[in-house]
Amino acid sequence: MAPALLLIPAALASFILAFGTGVEFVRFTSLRPLLGGIPEPGGPDARQGWLAAVRDRSILVPLAWDLGLLLLFVGQHSLMATETVKAWMSRYFGVLQRSLYVACTALALQVYYHVLGLGEPLALKSPRALRLFSHLRHPVCVELLTVLWVVPTLGTDRLLLALLLTLYLGLAHGLDQQDLRYLRAQLQRKLHLLSRPQEGEAE
Protein backbone atom coordinates (compact mmCIF):
# COMPACT_ATOMS: atom_id res chain seq x y z
CA MET A 1 0.00 0.00 0.00
CA ALA A 2 1.46 3.35 -0.98
CA PRO A 3 2.12 5.81 1.87
CA ALA A 4 -0.84 8.12 2.42
CA LEU A 5 1.20 11.27 1.81
CA LEU A 6 2.01 10.13 -1.74
CA LEU A 7 -1.64 9.77 -2.74
CA ILE A 8 -2.49 13.45 -3.14
CA PRO A 9 0.46 14.53 -5.33
CA ALA A 10 0.22 11.36 -7.43
CA ALA A 11 -3.50 11.81 -8.02
CA LEU A 12 -3.01 15.53 -8.75
CA ALA A 13 -0.24 14.79 -11.26
CA SER A 14 -2.49 12.25 -12.98
CA PHE A 15 -5.31 14.79 -13.16
CA ILE A 16 -3.07 17.49 -14.65
CA LEU A 17 -1.69 15.08 -17.25
CA ALA A 18 -5.16 13.85 -18.21
CA PHE A 19 -6.55 17.39 -18.36
CA GLY A 20 -3.71 18.61 -20.57
CA THR A 21 -4.16 15.65 -22.88
CA GLY A 22 -7.87 16.39 -23.10
CA VAL A 23 -7.15 19.98 -24.10
CA GLU A 24 -4.86 18.81 -26.89
CA PHE A 25 -7.46 16.28 -28.03
CA VAL A 26 -10.11 19.01 -28.28
CA ARG A 27 -7.69 21.15 -30.30
CA PHE A 28 -6.87 18.21 -32.56
CA THR A 29 -10.57 17.63 -33.32
CA SER A 30 -11.53 21.31 -33.34
CA LEU A 31 -13.64 23.13 -35.90
CA ARG A 32 -10.71 24.76 -37.73
CA PRO A 33 -9.00 21.57 -39.05
CA LEU A 34 -12.38 20.03 -39.84
CA LEU A 35 -13.44 23.03 -41.90
CA GLY A 36 -9.98 23.22 -43.42
CA GLY A 37 -10.56 19.80 -44.94
CA ILE A 38 -13.73 20.82 -46.77
CA PRO A 39 -13.09 21.15 -50.52
CA GLU A 40 -13.82 24.55 -51.98
CA PRO A 41 -16.66 24.84 -54.52
CA GLY A 42 -15.33 24.10 -57.97
CA GLY A 43 -12.44 21.99 -56.64
CA PRO A 44 -11.50 18.45 -57.76
CA ASP A 45 -14.08 15.74 -57.50
CA ALA A 46 -14.11 14.18 -54.04
CA ARG A 47 -14.21 10.61 -55.38
CA GLN A 48 -11.15 11.15 -57.56
CA GLY A 49 -9.37 12.69 -54.59
CA TRP A 50 -9.93 9.57 -52.49
CA LEU A 51 -8.80 7.27 -55.32
CA ALA A 52 -5.60 9.25 -55.73
CA ALA A 53 -4.99 9.22 -51.98
CA VAL A 54 -5.18 5.43 -51.60
CA ARG A 55 -2.53 5.04 -54.33
CA ASP A 56 -0.15 7.65 -52.89
CA ARG A 57 2.59 6.15 -50.70
CA SER A 58 3.26 9.55 -49.10
CA ILE A 59 -0.30 9.43 -47.74
CA LEU A 60 -0.54 5.70 -46.93
CA VAL A 61 2.63 5.62 -44.77
CA PRO A 62 1.46 8.40 -42.39
CA LEU A 63 -1.95 6.74 -42.27
CA ALA A 64 -0.29 3.47 -41.22
CA TRP A 65 1.54 5.35 -38.44
CA ASP A 66 -1.76 6.93 -37.38
CA LEU A 67 -3.39 3.50 -37.27
CA GLY A 68 -0.55 2.07 -35.17
CA LEU A 69 -0.67 4.97 -32.71
CA LEU A 70 -4.44 4.75 -32.38
CA LEU A 71 -4.17 1.00 -31.79
CA LEU A 72 -1.61 1.74 -29.06
CA PHE A 73 -4.18 3.92 -27.31
CA VAL A 74 -7.05 1.46 -27.85
CA GLY A 75 -4.92 -1.49 -26.69
CA GLN A 76 -3.67 0.26 -23.57
CA HIS A 77 -7.12 1.61 -22.74
CA SER A 78 -8.79 -1.79 -23.17
CA LEU A 79 -6.08 -3.94 -21.57
CA MET A 80 -5.85 -1.86 -18.43
CA ALA A 81 -9.64 -1.89 -18.13
CA THR A 82 -9.79 -5.70 -17.83
CA GLU A 83 -10.61 -7.15 -14.42
CA THR A 84 -7.35 -9.14 -14.32
CA VAL A 85 -5.13 -6.09 -14.83
CA LYS A 86 -7.24 -3.94 -12.51
CA ALA A 87 -7.00 -6.56 -9.76
CA TRP A 88 -3.20 -6.76 -10.20
CA MET A 89 -2.83 -2.98 -10.13
CA SER A 90 -5.06 -2.68 -7.09
CA ARG A 91 -2.96 -5.27 -5.27
CA TYR A 92 0.28 -3.38 -5.84
CA PHE A 93 -0.86 0.24 -6.10
CA GLY A 94 -3.96 0.36 -3.93
CA VAL A 95 -6.13 3.43 -4.41
CA LEU A 96 -3.63 4.78 -6.95
CA GLN A 97 -4.83 2.18 -9.45
CA ARG A 98 -7.27 4.54 -11.12
CA SER A 99 -4.80 7.43 -11.20
CA LEU A 100 -2.21 5.17 -12.85
CA TYR A 101 -4.77 4.05 -15.42
CA VAL A 102 -5.65 7.65 -16.31
CA ALA A 103 -1.96 8.64 -16.44
CA CYS A 104 -1.11 5.76 -18.81
CA THR A 105 -4.06 6.67 -21.04
CA ALA A 106 -2.89 10.28 -21.20
CA LEU A 107 0.67 9.16 -21.96
CA ALA A 108 -0.54 6.99 -24.83
CA LEU A 109 -2.30 10.00 -26.34
CA GLN A 110 0.73 12.22 -25.70
CA VAL A 111 2.85 9.81 -27.79
CA TYR A 112 0.32 10.23 -30.58
CA TYR A 113 0.49 14.03 -30.37
CA HIS A 114 4.30 14.02 -30.25
CA VAL A 115 4.67 11.84 -33.33
CA LEU A 116 2.25 14.08 -35.23
CA GLY A 117 4.37 17.08 -34.27
CA LEU A 118 1.57 18.86 -32.44
CA GLY A 119 3.03 21.60 -30.28
CA GLU A 120 1.73 23.55 -27.33
CA PRO A 121 -1.99 24.24 -28.04
CA LEU A 122 -1.92 27.80 -26.69
CA ALA A 123 0.96 28.68 -29.01
CA LEU A 124 -1.49 28.46 -31.90
CA LYS A 125 -3.94 30.92 -30.36
CA SER A 126 -4.12 34.60 -31.22
CA PRO A 127 -3.22 37.30 -28.63
CA ARG A 128 -6.92 38.17 -28.36
CA ALA A 129 -7.81 34.55 -27.60
CA LEU A 130 -5.06 34.32 -24.98
CA ARG A 131 -6.33 37.53 -23.42
CA LEU A 132 -9.83 36.04 -23.24
CA PHE A 133 -8.54 32.82 -21.63
CA SER A 134 -6.78 34.82 -18.94
CA HIS A 135 -10.10 36.37 -17.91
CA LEU A 136 -12.16 33.25 -17.28
CA ARG A 137 -12.02 29.67 -16.10
CA HIS A 138 -12.31 26.77 -18.51
CA PRO A 139 -15.90 26.38 -19.82
CA VAL A 140 -15.98 22.80 -18.51
CA CYS A 141 -16.29 24.36 -15.04
CA VAL A 142 -19.93 25.11 -15.86
CA GLU A 143 -20.49 21.35 -15.89
CA LEU A 144 -18.76 21.08 -12.52
CA LEU A 145 -21.03 23.74 -11.00
CA THR A 146 -24.08 21.96 -12.41
CA VAL A 147 -23.00 18.68 -10.82
CA LEU A 148 -22.41 20.43 -7.49
CA TRP A 149 -25.65 22.41 -7.30
CA VAL A 150 -28.32 20.46 -9.22
CA VAL A 151 -29.03 17.82 -6.58
CA PRO A 152 -32.15 17.08 -4.48
CA THR A 153 -30.43 17.84 -1.17
CA LEU A 154 -27.19 19.47 -0.07
CA GLY A 155 -25.26 18.18 2.93
CA THR A 156 -23.13 20.59 4.91
CA ASP A 157 -19.87 19.29 3.41
CA ARG A 158 -21.21 19.39 -0.16
CA LEU A 159 -22.65 22.87 0.39
CA LEU A 160 -19.27 24.09 1.62
CA LEU A 161 -17.56 22.56 -1.42
CA ALA A 162 -20.11 24.06 -3.82
CA LEU A 163 -19.86 27.52 -2.26
CA LEU A 164 -16.06 27.64 -2.24
CA LEU A 165 -15.68 26.36 -5.81
CA THR A 166 -18.40 28.72 -7.07
CA LEU A 167 -16.59 31.61 -5.40
CA TYR A 168 -13.25 30.42 -6.81
CA LEU A 169 -14.65 30.19 -10.35
CA GLY A 170 -16.63 33.42 -10.10
CA LEU A 171 -13.72 35.55 -8.92
CA ALA A 172 -11.66 34.51 -11.95
CA HIS A 173 -14.42 35.52 -14.36
CA GLY A 174 -13.62 39.06 -15.50
CA LEU A 175 -14.66 39.55 -19.12
CA ASP A 176 -14.61 43.13 -20.44
CA GLN A 177 -15.94 44.83 -23.57
CA GLN A 178 -12.89 43.83 -25.63
CA ASP A 179 -13.44 40.16 -24.73
CA LEU A 180 -17.13 40.40 -25.61
CA ARG A 181 -16.33 41.97 -28.99
CA TYR A 182 -13.89 39.14 -29.68
CA LEU A 183 -16.48 36.50 -28.73
CA ARG A 184 -19.09 38.18 -30.92
CA ALA A 185 -16.69 38.25 -33.87
CA GLN A 186 -15.81 34.58 -33.40
CA LEU A 187 -19.48 33.62 -33.26
CA GLN A 188 -20.23 35.52 -36.46
CA ARG A 189 -17.23 33.91 -38.16
CA LYS A 190 -18.33 30.39 -37.22
CA LEU A 191 -21.92 31.06 -38.30
CA HIS A 192 -20.61 32.31 -41.64
CA LEU A 193 -18.45 29.20 -42.13
CA LEU A 194 -21.29 26.84 -41.21
CA SER A 195 -23.71 28.60 -43.57
CA ARG A 196 -21.26 28.54 -46.50
CA PRO A 197 -22.59 26.38 -49.37
CA GLN A 198 -20.60 23.20 -49.88
CA GLU A 199 -19.54 21.60 -53.12
CA GLY A 200 -22.49 20.21 -55.08
CA GLU A 201 -25.00 22.16 -53.03
CA ALA A 202 -27.48 24.24 -54.96
CA GLU A 203 -26.86 27.96 -54.87
Question: Could you read off the pLDDT of 14-47 as tens digits, one per residue?
Answer: 667 777 776 666 665 554 444 444 444 445 555 5
Question: Where are the domains positioned within the chain?
Answer: 56-119
Q: What is the pLDDT at residue 26?
A: 62
Give how far Cα 80 sits from Cα of 13, 73, 75, 120, Å: 19, 11, 8, 28
| Model pTM score | 0.40
Report the percent of the chain where pLDDT is more than 90: 3
Q: What is the mean pLDDT of residues 91-107?
A: 84
Q: What is the pLDDT at residue 5?
A: 59
Q: What is the mean pLDDT of residues 71-91?
A: 85
> Which among 174, 182, 142, 147 has a CA at the least distance from the CA of 161?
147
Q: What is the pLDDT at residue 192?
A: 86
Q: What is the mean pLDDT of residues 180-203?
A: 77
pLDDT of 183 > 80? The answer is yes
136 neighbors 174 (Cβ within 8 angstroms): yes
Q: What is the pLDDT at residue 136?
A: 78
As a whole number of angstroms, the distance between CA 145 and CA 162 comes to: 7
